[in-house]
């Protein structure tokens, strides 16, 4: 992941590289989620991506229900061919996220969320 970041910014300071190297270690479990290209021509690639994203959301909900902290992250490394290869993904597979899972150090308050009314239009 650090090498991926360095490709886009070769003059990156060593401290920034160290931060990037530490990212995969910030939780005891890191799951990389990839999506296969459809084997059946009748299946749209976006359907596979949506199914994988829904599975990740269910994973996050299940982790939180068990008292675990879970976070979904992507970033440039998710699109880097060397990162994909290192993780065992084929070049044409989409890497849709890195899921960090572990026990939180402290209880986290629920985030402030804007009301749905700000983004909902009712049509009759």
* Between 77 and 4, the higher pLDDT residue: 77
- Judge whether 57 and 41 are in contact, CB under 8 Å: no
In a domain? residue 120:
no
In a domain? residue 3:
no
pLDDT digits (tens, 9 = 90+) for 34-72: 999 888 989 999 999 999 999 999 999 999 999 899 999
* Residue 89, domain extent: 29-93+100-105
What is the average pLDDT value for the chain, to the nearest integer? 88
CATH number (domain holding residue 75):
3.40.109.10
State the burial class of residue 71 (Cβ atoms within 10 Å of its Cβ: 0-12, 13-18, 19+): middle
pTM over 0.85: no
Is the pLDDT at 118 greater than 70, yes or no?
yes
Query: Residues in the chain, how many?
Result: 124
- Judge whether 99 and 26 are in contact, CB under 8 Å: no
Is the pLDDT at 108 greater than 90, yes or no?
no
Is the pLDDT at 28 greater than 70, yes or no?
yes
Strands (E) in 59-116, as ranges, are: 69-73, 94-102
In a domain? residue 36:
yes
- Judge whether 34 and 78 are in contact, CB under 8 Å: no
In a domain? residue 23:
no
């Amino acid at each position: 992941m650090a090498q991926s970041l360095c490709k886009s910014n070769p003059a990156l300071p060593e401290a920034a590289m160290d931060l990037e190297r530490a990212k995969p270690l910030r939780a005891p479990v890191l799951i990389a989620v990839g999506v296969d290209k459809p084997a059946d021509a009748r299946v749209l690639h976006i359907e596979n991506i949506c199914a994988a994203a829904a599975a990740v959301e269910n994973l996050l909900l299940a982790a939180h229900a068990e008292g675990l902290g879970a976070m979904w992250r992507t970033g440039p490394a998710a699109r880097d061919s060397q990162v994909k290869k290192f993780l065992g993904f084929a070049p044409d597979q989409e890497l849709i996220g890195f899921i960090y899972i572990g026990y939180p150090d402290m209880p986290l308050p629920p985030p402030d969320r804007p009301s749905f009314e700000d983004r909902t239009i009712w049509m009759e």
